[in-house]
Chains A and B, each alone.
Chain A
Amino acid sequence: AQTVTQSQPEMSVQEAETVTLSCTYDTSESDYYLFWYKQPPSRQMILVIRQEAYKQQNATENRFSVNFQKAAKSFSLKISDSQLGDAAMYFCALYNFNKFYFGSGTKLNVKP
């Protein structure tokens, strides 16, 4: 079975600071993909970052980077220099067999 767990329902960060959101997953496959999506109050689901499991190098997109630990099945998202616009729900997702498995989400608050 494929599962994705986000153990932090809610987190807060001060503007300009760095925050890390946790995600663990379970799969018996060796080839898969991992994603982080952002859902602001407007409810759009926006792709933040994508990681290919067979690549050891951690993906980065501007202020967003991941710490991918394949053996530990961990995929955390680091947001540097947090901005007010980063406030949103963040969902971790696992792709396998053409299906996406989503975690329950982490609500990120950004304090001015």
Chain B
Amino acid sequence: DAGVIQSPRHEVTEMGQEVTLRCKPISGHNSLFWYRQTMMRGLELLIYFNNNVPIDDSGMPEDRFSAKMPNASFSTLKIQPSEPRDSAVYFCASSGGGVGQPQHFGDGTRLSIL
């Protein structure tokens, strides 16, 4: 089975540009999570969806960040406008099959904002 697929793997863009990160969860998984990882703050949960519905977005840093999940097989995380402090590795993870099942992570997107 294919794992969680994220694209792009690397993104370098200039400050002020819009950035869109994409994620395809594992088929059949009903929960999807977006994380940000930095050296300073570690792994931070930004938002998670259950059955395509955003459940908790309290980790989204500010209004420049938005996330959508239009269907069970696709999600996006958008930053507009981007800033240098947004530079990080962004992970998408999915889980399913009931309570307490592990998350399966994608390979992450390394985002660099110049």
A interface list, Cβ under 8 A from B: 32-33, 35, 37, 42-47, 50, 52, 91, 95, 98-100, 102-105
The residue on A at minimum CB distance from B105 is A45
Cα distance A35–B48 when bound, in Å? Answer: 18
Knowing A43-B108, A105-B42, say if A100 contacts B103 (CB, 8 Å). Answer: yes
B88-108, CB under 8 A of A: which get 1 and which 0?
010101000001101111011
Q: Given the known A-B contacts A43-B108, A95-B100, are A102 and B50 also in contact in the complex, defined by CB atoms under 8 Å?
A: no
Which residue of A is nearest B107, CB measured?
Answer: A44
Q: Is B56 an interface residue (CB 8 A)?
A: yes
Dominant secondary structure at the A interface: strand
Output the residue of A35, A46, A100 with the most chain B CB within 10 A: A100
A91 to B43, CA, bound (A): 9
- On whether the beta carbons of B104 and A43 are closer than 8 Å, the reply is no
B55 at interface by CB-CB < 8 Å = yes
Q: What CA separation (Å) do A37 and B103 show in the bound complex?
A: 10
The number of inter-chain residue pairs (CB within 8 angstroms) is 43
Give the complex CA separation of A107 and B48 in angstroms: 27
Let me know if B91 and A104 touch, CB within 8 A. Answer: no
* A102 vs B33: C-alpha distance when bound (angstroms): 13
Distance A35 CA – B33 CA, assembled complex (angstroms) = 16
5 extra A-B contacts, CB within 8 A, seeds A50-B102, A99-B48, A100-B33: A43-B89, A44-B107, A44-B108, A46-B105, A98-B31
Known contacts A33-B100, A45-B93; is A102 also within 8 Å of B105 by CB? no
Determine if B50 and A47 form an interchain contact, defined as CB atoms under 8 angstroms apart.
no
Interchain Cβ contacts under 8 Å between A and B, 12 examples: A32-B100, A33-B99, A43-B89, A43-B108, A44-B105, A47-B102, A98-B48, A98-B55, A99-B45, A99-B48, A99-B56, A100-B33
